[in-house]
Structure 1
């Protein structure tokens, strides 16, 4: 399967982020097409394309837009305003696709925002970006200013009579704000914590008004669909998971980076493009969608990397963050670091996650130091079972997934920590690493 650069087709051009460069590459052509259509026709076009959310869950984007109440307000029923919110709070360990996209081609996102807001009849849109990524914030703010000056934002966009204002909002840096309802609370000025659902954001989202929350890549994929048509989009990928997407390869590969390919490509094929595992080493385990997804091993190299294929193999496609680890990596140490991250980022709202992640760290730290017992393995699974599916939001599932899956594939490595009295990958205890320490 060949690569299909669409979003990333000219990231390497000088000043790829500028409006001039974007317009040279058919920029805002999709918007012009959309403004000649009715909002409902735009939604139907996105539905027909089969575009699925690129933020992790893979929910059909057009269907999500159609959940917004479509009855136009009148004098007797003024109704509530509609809002579009772009979730650019990319913070999943290993995930690094949205930030490069906004740095290289921010206008792809801005154009997608205008099309999506027009489709759902919104006149205000917000792009929620992590506050730590100052260069991305500046690049995005500059692109929004360029769009206003060129008539792509503001009043009477391109003479269509449609008005839209866009606000780039800097978050305070909390992983939990990647959860859409926690993001909405943060955007409203409150502490970011997930909300009880129902009501869902489509009914009562930002400021208790109908709201659509979409990921950066989902929105940026809309302009090419409007410009080239849903059939063109469906010519890539599979029937249930059509289109192109960005795969983020990081870790022990020769050429880490972003690889844009049709959904359904395998890691074996992506590794061919990335130059394979780093010289002199071999694959040990990897994540198909970031640290919150159950890990895979070498036996899963040919699993189709689409929503159905990865799920059938026992994991989730998630954000398509492919973290690659070779044989020098201690599984227990890697899982411990992920677990520490989730314990630190737990918002504390619900007991299973607040208490469960804390105790997972305590047990994992004892085991990684070689001070645990085989009975601790069952304790870990018991705690993970008390979190997965029982926490207020998906953070609990994220914390449990790497533990459950690593014990499934690497129970012997956990036991080796007990036998060695510490990590067997520590050069002081073992020659397993041949002088290369675990990362």
Structure 2
């Protein structure tokens, strides 16, 4: 449907799909994910066959030419990782897939595993051939029931048809894999924590003075790529690295999948070439802010990402530009916010999530995030001071420099980016004891505009605290002492008579 409710007959006429460029999602929504035949009709496993006709070094070179960088968040060059592992000594090596997608509002990897499981498996086998691994694991979040079911079916079918197991496609190469179910810990998305979890231990990160390509899973050389990274590999091998490199920017090649959610007209999965602007993604593809609201900012990169303001809407989306802006690519989550979003409360929300997900192994993360959370809570309750802002910056710097893993190092991004671009909101909370967005309950009050009120009584019926009273024919009123500031009255009022101050 378009914005006027008219149906579209094909994707090219739909503004949400018209300018997308599908690579990782090239088969999603087109094939039956449980059908190997459907995948084979879409050139499935042709990339693997081509790879097996090359030497491992030639496969790695093709990936190098493509310029593919890891889509899990760090953006590390995939070919460099593969080459380092292939050159590491030892006969036993492991190839891993990270399907533990823990970012709130993110569903990119889940959708690929649900909609096109064989492309992930094909990428995993190609990677294993390139590095010389004969055993692999797919670490998949336990909550992803459908993704788990489709990946299991894909593994069984691939094994039955010679794309997995002994002597793959009569090439002499052996590789098999199994699924490990993640327990839902956000920190297990971190590479070393994921590996210790596969080993059956507590999912905690370790110091990376020794890289996983040298000593990873079970102390053996290991490569870990996320789902979207692996989904690009068959395309690269089949079409050539140069074709993939035609897309994107000089430093960020190819496409990227984003989950576009929040206060935006059209939500869903979006795959676009690297280098498109935030404005294009949010307004041209997403249709702009929903319900005629005013755009305020966009949060990219999940809980550890940053908030980018309206003045930077023309920022090109790539790994380096987002990092320079104080945010990050992350796995591809993108949450659009309007003027009803309180940026202080948003920072507090994400820090609360990250503090709860910290494994507690290192002090800067365990204690630093809690201290920052306490400060933000005080500010949202109207008890903050201007000195708190300096303390927040000091704690953020310490966590960034001294934490053991990326959870702690990037946890302060929501705080620092909102301080950088929305400092006036922090100062309003502290100096004026006011929440400009009307969100922080300790700093707001509800009242009814008597000129706008139509005396319908709907607000009173929906008030759980019985704080609204009135009679037909006269404006209703709210008892501020009884009001619990739940917002129900504002949500149901059809005449915009509920005012938040």
Measured against the shorter chain, the TM-score band is over 0.9
Please give the residue correspondences for 1:209-228 in structure 2 after superposition, counting only pairs within 5 Å.
209-228=220-239
Q: Which runs of 5+ in 2 are unaligned?
A: 1-17, 450-486, 492-497
What is the CA-CA distance between 1:69 and the residue it aligns to? Answer: 4.5
Partner of 1:429: 445
Q: Is 1:53 aligned to residue 64 of structure 2?
A: no
**SS of aligned partner of 2:297:** strand
Contact 1:52–1:59 (CA<8 Å) still a contact in 2? yes
In the alignment, does 2:156 pair up with 1:145?
yes
Residues 1:307 and 2:306 are matched in the alignment: no
Q: 2:208 matched to 1:166?
A: no
In structure 2, the residue matched to 1:112 is 123
Q: Specify the alignment match of 1:373 in structure 2.
A: 385
Deviation at 1:418, TM superposition (A): 3.3
Kept in 1, the 8 Å contact 2:326–2:417? The answer is: no
Distance 1:119 1:6 in 2: 21
In the alignment, the residues of structure 2 paired with residue 106 and residue 181 of structure 1 have an alpha-carbon distance, to the nearest angstrom, of 25
Structure 1 residues 393 and 363, CA gap change in structure 2 (3 angstroms): same
Residue of structure 1 equivalent to 2:206: 195
Q: Deviations 1:92-138 (Å, cap 9, x if unpaired)?
A: 23332111111110111000011000110100010111112222111
Q: Paired residue for 1:364?
A: 376
Q: Which structure ranks higher in relative contact order (CA pairs < 8 Å, sequence separation ≥ 6)?
A: 1
Q: Distance in 1 between matches of 2:271 and 2:73?
A: 16
Structure 1 residue 27 corresponds to structure 2 residue 39: no
8 Å CA contact retained: 1:17, 1:107: no
Give the root-mean-square deviation of aligned CA atoms.
2.2
The 2-side partners of 1:100 and 1:11 are apart by 8
Shift of 1:397: 2.3
Secondary structure, in 3 states, of the residue corresponding to 1:308?
helix
Alignment of 1:229-268 (within 5 A): 229-268=240-279
Normalization by structure 1: what TM-score?
0.93
Q: Alignment length, in residue pairs?
A: 432
Q: Which residue of the partner structure matches residue 165 of structure 2?
A: 154
Displacement after TM superposition at 1:413 (Å): 1.2
Task: Please state whether the residue corresponding to 2:157 is helix, strand or coil.
Answer: helix
**More deviation in 303-312 or 185-194?**
303-312
Q: Distance in 2 between matches of 1:23 and 1:303?
A: 39
Partner of 2:12: none
Contact 1:126 1:168 in 2 (8 A): yes
Report the counterpart of residue 350 of structure 2 in structure 1: 338
Provide the rounded CA distance (Å) in 2 between the counterparts of 1:103 and 1:199.
34
Quick check: 1:93–1:291 contact (8 Å CA) kept in 2? yes
Shift of 1:420: 5.6
Mapping of residues 98-137 of structure 1, within 5 Å: 98-137=109-148
CA distance in 2, matches of 1:123, 1:388: 37
Give the Å deviation of 1:215.
1.1
| Deviation at residue 430 of structure 1 after TM alignment | 6.1
Partner of 2:61 in structure 1?
Answer: 44
**Contact 2:88–2:213 (Cα < 8 Å) also in 1:** no
For 1:312 and 1:387, the matched residues in 2 are separated by: 19
Q: Secondary structure at the match of 2:337?
A: strand
Deviation at 1:423, TM superposition (A): 3.9
Structure 1 stretch displaced more, 403-412 or 54-63 = 403-412
**2:457 aligned residue:** none
- Further displaced range: 418-427 or 258-267: 418-427
